[in-house]
Amino acid sequence: MRHSLPLAPQFYVTAPQPCPYLEGRMERKLFTALQGDGAQKLNDTLSKQGFRRSQNVLYRPSCSDCAACFSARIDVQKFKPSRNQKRVLKRNTHLVRRATSPWATEEQYDLFRTYLDARHADGGMADMDVFEFGAMIEETPIRSRVVEYLNPETDELTAVCLTDMIDDGLSMVYSFYKPDLPRQSLGSWMILDHVQIALDAGLPYVYLGYWVPGSEKMGYKAQFDALEIFYKGVWRPIGDKSQYEADTHPLSTDPIAEQVANISFPDQRG
């Protein structure tokens, strides 16, 4: 099924498939291609409307009978780490950050495979080979960086995040890390470090992807202070987390054509 607007990108909808986050529900995505001279502007604009990037595609959940996924971002100026997050920062002060161009390496892939085998062996990326991994890292039409974190004593790669730079912040596309260091809480630490990167760069937000109430995989994002979610077309502070109980009936989401009609696009003339 295809939906389009004059002078706007064409949008498509994926076929329903089992939701990876909530058991017994079906997932469907609205997506468009990210290509050409206007790719950066399109990514900037749609990221502010709940879309995420995967290689050269922008997508947003558009499930027919569920509205449980909320795009989440941290307001870095308002953010204050919790006591536990301060301890996480302290435990990882020895790690060295290195930002590089989006090129895949064998060392990155080895760490990626170790991470998947330990944490997501039954996930959708479990069978990803080295060539698919290279495409995930390198096929980006916008400003992206691979942020590596190394142990200076051993020169060992400890954690990696593929990060997009958009006009109002940093978007953490995908991160992975050594799974045998649970006390270091490396996933949370990379978020904390990206908050610092954004502060240093004068950028207001760090985009975290989707927060899914009721999902063990995605629920950790609600632990971060100054979190905003994209809710019913606007960004708002998350507030009381218990208020977001997902609707599971056909009227919980707008029709696809109406969703597309409500998307704002960058100035086609610019």
pLDDT digits (tens, 9 = 90+) for 172-194: 999 999 999 999 999 999 999 99
Q: What residues contact residue 37 under an 8 Å CB cut-off, 6+ apart?
A: none
Q: What residues contact residue 27 under an 8 Å CB cut-off, 6+ apart?
A: 14, 16, 17, 18, 19, 20, 61, 63
Give the end-to-end CA distance of the chain in Å, rounded to a whole number.
Answer: 29
Report phi then psi at 27, rounded to 5: -110, 140
pLDDT digits (tens, 9 = 90+) for 232-244: 899 999 988 878 7
Q: Output the pLDDT for position 179.
A: 94
Query: What is the pTM (predicted TM-score) of this model?
Result: 0.91
Interatomic CA distance for residues 142 and 166, integer angstroms: 9
Q: Do the Cβ atoms of 115 and 126 come closer than 8 Å?
A: no
Interatomic CA distance for residues 237 and 215, integer angstroms: 20
Q: Output the pLDDT for position 270.
A: 43
> Structure tokens of 115?
């991470």
Q: What is the mean pLDDT of residues 4-33?
A: 85
Q: Do the Cβ atoms of 187 and 177 come closer than 8 Å?
A: yes
Q: Do the Cβ atoms of 159 and 95 come closer than 8 Å?
A: yes
